[in-house]
Structure 1
Amino acid sequence: MAENHQWTDASSSHDATLFDRPRQREGKVPFHVMFLQGISALPGQHKDWAFNTLLLLFYSQVLGLPATYVSGILAIALVFDAVSDPVVGALSDSYKSRWGRRHPLILCSAVPVCVSMYALFSPPETLSGLALAAWLLVATVVLRVSFTFFAVPWGAIGAELSTDYSERTKVIAYRMFIGGFGGVIFIAGIYELFPASDEYANGLFNASNYQGFAIVIAALMLLWSLLSGLTTLNQVKYLPQPKSRVPTVTFPELLARLRDGLSNPNFRVLFVATLIISSAIGTGLVFDTYMNTFFWEFGPDELRWFGLSFLGMAVAIFTIVPLQQRFEKRDILLFCLVVMTFLQISKVALRFGGLLPPNGDPLLLPILVSHTCLLAFFGFVVLMMYASMIADVADEQELQNGLRQEGVFSGGISLSGKFTSGFGLILGGILLEHAIQMPTGLTPGDVDGGILFKLAITDGIIVPALNLVPLMLLLRYTLTRDRVAEIQEVLQARRAV
């Protein structure tokens, strides 16, 4: 009976700690370890690119489902996905095995992720209407939920590899850098699968091109998932593990862990800020492909150049360490979020102000690619700061209740993001179909100028302005470098007892 209360008792004791590292790492995290854990970013990069760039276009413009249906289905799938995040986070926090807390979940997710990704972009040709909508719903739910078993444990491992305040950011930066670099190569090559033809000047509108794409992206995601999981099994001994068997997580215990996480004021700030930012992102993602294709009139040959946004990420990698040595994480995050918002608004504002070349001008593409590189730099820093701050909050949480809750925190942030980006997808689909009145089945150059104007105003002015709310919230985040150092001193003293 006492065993059933093990988690509750430990959480209420400020002197207890349930987790310990079987072996303490001597020195810094080796380069090859940071590289191998960085590979884990590639499946998510491929999935996110496919969802953000092609999925709505494929099902709405190519297969003919109304945009409201598609965005609504994607939002429903996101709700399933978001609910699974804290469940998987809590499960991986308390799971105990010879392969650690996280790796068994990571490796078991690889095959269902691969199969569902293939199914998503290769529906039977005979499907249409409600049957096609049902296929989209099932494939998307299975993909998103199974991918949670990969992404949430990996997010927790990124926070656990190092206890050093600055090195945590470096570990996360490597992961994002490899994801960005791999993304450039992926984007540059993947458009080769969408060649133009006599019937389709833009190969993205040719349904037959998506079969090969489905095979390639599914195979790549399987490869990266297994490679990153299997080659880092030897790091389990350096990661926090339960000192004894932890009971199976019941639903009331899960709610208690989530409540414990949300009781932390700094986590609440990050959680709510993510709610707002993700609402803006979810709405904006509905429009991004439409803007690039219909407003700027770019085809696959031009769109591949936007992969050079990796250059902005690369610069961020080399500047983040000196920046963090001089400034607090919160201050860096706030500054970059302000600049991001300005850049998002400036692109459309410059076009309407007559300061950008017209569509088809050779200068337009390099200008917008350069703009994207700048946006990628500041956006990449924002992501790194968020992830690094979660690791610091996990230390604060252990100080308060004895629990390492990286999984719950990672899952909670993911939950907040997915719930609200799901809302953003619904809102974006409704706006696209009913307010903007974007027709289906058209190609670039055939859309009325008034519709394009409404599309640009929504995507380039209204949506980015939502970032002002999280800017105000993040001013309440209180963890500093000195405070984290104090917390870690106390934790080290506890573990030595």
Structure 2
Amino acid sequence: MPQDRIPSSTVVRYSTGALGTGGFSTLPGLVLLYFMTDTLGIAALWAGLVIGVVRVWDVVADPVIGALSDDDDARTGSRRRWMLVGGIALPVLFVLMFAVPADLPPIASVLWVGIAYLGAATAFSVFQVPYMALPAAISHDYDERTRLLTARVIVLTIAILAFGGGGPALRGIVDDAHVGYLLMGIVCAILLAIGCLVAVPSAPRHAPYAAQRRSIASIYRETWDVLAHGPSLRALVVPFFLQALATGLMLAGGQYVATYILRDEDAITFLFVALIAPAIVAAPGWQWLSARTSKRFAFQLSSIVFIVGGVLLVPALLVPDGWVYAPVALAGLGYAGMQSLPMAMLPDAMAHDRKRTGIDRSGVIGGVWTAMETTGFALGGLVLSLVLAATGYVASRGGAEQPEGVLVGIAVAFSVLPALVVLVSLAPLRGYRLTRAVVDADVAPQQETQA
């Protein structure tokens, strides 16, 4: 039994936050591009640019949000205040993303979605960045962090299944697409609020201390220092970014696969069940394997499983039938490890940085992590929009018959491209060096100081 055992109530409250983070990370990536091209009639390239611009903002804003949350944690003794503000604002702005009036012309619709998405993404970061910094403070134990993050990933996986499968199903309840998307937005916003607000009390409290005031320039210098002088963190962040891009590409492509290759818009629900249901079962297995080998090895193996699933999707998509769900399920087994293991490795990197510098920069690191995750997801949608534009995709209100080249582009973007990106991500991961022995050596001085 570890000395730093996390109470079950804390595990439950913290992991419930994944209902909010998983929902927002999943549903816009799945349906927002499709909503703009096939309901609002926005050209694929313009729709992709809207998503890309918002995520560029994330890269700029998230490290600053992280640094400010570090400062607020020092002054108030907790990160709860930022999480609360983000958890309240996110659901409201999420609804606005899908509340576009039906009679707006495409250019006005682009502006509406872009502004609402920018606000929602900012609110998400205000919650997500301090939320990602919590595990390093909740426990110092190597295995307890894995236990905490595995519970979070199980909830995250359920959230992805609920939002990714249930969101499109809600949309299809009514015949009017605009009303369907609005209904989907309202119901999902309620779930986002529950997830975020339940997680707020999981943020631990400590005695406040004097925080050094930092300029915006100093925050970016600190962000650079975090990556430049943290080789293991860098070796973790880069693969996670690339894998978020691959996942974002599959998420964005799923609805197009359902509509234009499987010829059933509602098949997206079954694609999601095939991807996520195996992941729910597999997450504890990846935790078990990482405890007996290492987190890096298990992360590498899960990535390879995902790659194999992506490659096997190619013949399944060329002759689409029920067999398409089998390689998707195999990719889902790998996806579970690709989510849980890097998240379990991140608190170890935060603790290592704290030992190296003597200061807590978990918020800054969480800001970098969130920026890379959300940007990767968005770039997946942007890459898909470029593929659609290059192959001659026809945007319309209500859908249109697509050229054969578009169908090939959708199939490749859903299978081969994600597998290749994940394969490339394995190269930088070799530089990750935070083994159990290194992490235990980092923790010992902190425990002596607390004693």
By how many angstroms is 1:285 displaced? Answer: 4.0
Write 1 or 2 for the structure with the bigger share of helix.
Answer: 2
User: Structure 2 CA distance, aligned partners of 1:313 and 1:324?
Assistant: 16
Partner of 1:335: 301
Give the drift of 1:143: 0.4
Aligned equivalents of 1:422, 1:219: Cα separation in 2: 23
Q: Which moved more, 1:109-118 or 1:162-171?
A: 109-118
CA deviations over 1:90-141 (Å, ceiling 9, x no partner) = 1122224786331100101123212211110011233212211111111010
What are the superposed Cα offsets for residues 189-234 of structure 1, whole Å, 9 maximum, x if unpaired?
444533467xxxxx5x8223222222212222223222222x43xx
CA pair 149-63 structure 1, distance change in 2 beyond 3 A: same
In 2, are the aligned partners of 1:172 and 1:384 still within 8 Å (CA)?
Answer: yes
Q: Which amino acid aligns with 1:209?
A: G
Counterpart for residue 200 of structure 1:
none
Residues 96, 281 of structure 1: alpha-carbon distance in 2 compared, 3 angstrom cutoff = closer
Percent identity, aligned pairs only, is 22
Measure the CA separation in 1 of the matches of 2:74 and 2:449.
24
**Normalising by the residue count of structure 1, what TM-score does the alignment of the two structures yield?**
0.83
**1:23-422 matched pairs, under 5 angstroms:** 28-96=5-73, 100-186=77-163, 189-195=166-172, 206-229=177-200, 231-232=201-202, 236-237=204-205, 241=206, 244-262=209-227, 263-300=229-266, 303-304=269-270, 306-307=272-273, 309-352=275-318, 358-359=320-321, 364=322, 367-422=323-378
Query: Are the counterparts in 2 of residues 297 and 445 from structure 1 also a CA contact under 8 Å?
Result: no
AA matched with 1:347: L
Would you say how many aligned residue pairs link Structure 1 and Structure 2? Answer: 449
For the pair 1:483 / 2:438, whether they are aligned, the reply is yes
Say whether the 8 Å CA contact 2:90–2:120 is kept in structure 1.
yes
- Structure 1 Cα separation of the partners of residues 237 and 73 of structure 2: 27
**Any idea what SS the aligned residue of 1:440 has?**
coil
Q: 1:98 to 1:490 in 2, by over 3 A?
A: closer
Partner deviation per Cα, 1:239-261 (whole Å, 9 max, x = no partner): xx476220333223312321331
Q: For 2:212, what is the secondary structure of its paired residue?
A: coil
Q: Is the CA contact 2:132–2:366 (under 8 Å) kept in the aligned structure 1?
A: yes
- In 1, the alpha carbon distance for the partners of 2:188 and 2:234 equals 36
> Is residue 52–residue 289 contact of structure 1 (8 Å, CA) maintained in 2?
no
* One-letter amino acid matched to 2:256: Y
The CA RMSD measured in Å over matched residues stands at 2.6
Structure 2: distance between partners of 1:379 and 1:448: 31
Q: Does the CA-based 8 Å contact 2:39-2:178 persist in structure 1?
A: yes
* Structure 2 CA distance for partners of 1:36 and 1:466, relative to 1, 3 Å: same
CA contact (8 A) 2:25 2:374 kept: no
Secondary structure of 1:95's counterpart equals: helix
Using the alignment, how far apart are the partners of 2:247 and 2:340 within structure 1?
A: 17
Residue 172 (structure 1) shift: 0.6
Q: Relative to structure 1, is the Cα distance of residues 288 and 181 closer, same or farther in structure 2, using a 3 angstrom cutoff?
A: closer
Instruction: Determine if contact 2:36/2:47 at 8 Å carries over to the other structure.
Output: yes
Q: Say whether residues 1:454 and 2:409 are aligned partners.
A: yes
For structure 1, list consecutive stretches of 5 or more residues without a partner in the other structure: 1-24, 198-202
Larger Rg: 1
* Worse overlay, 155-164 or 440-449: 440-449
Find the aligned partners of 2:194 and 2:374 in 1 and give their Cα distance. Answer: 26
1:418–1:453 Cα change, 3 Å: same
Check conservation: 1:294, 1:443, Cα contact below 8 A: no
Q: 1:386-414 deviations in whole A, cap 9, x for unaligned? A: 11111111121122111222222221122
What is the letter of the counterpart of residue 398 of structure 1?
R
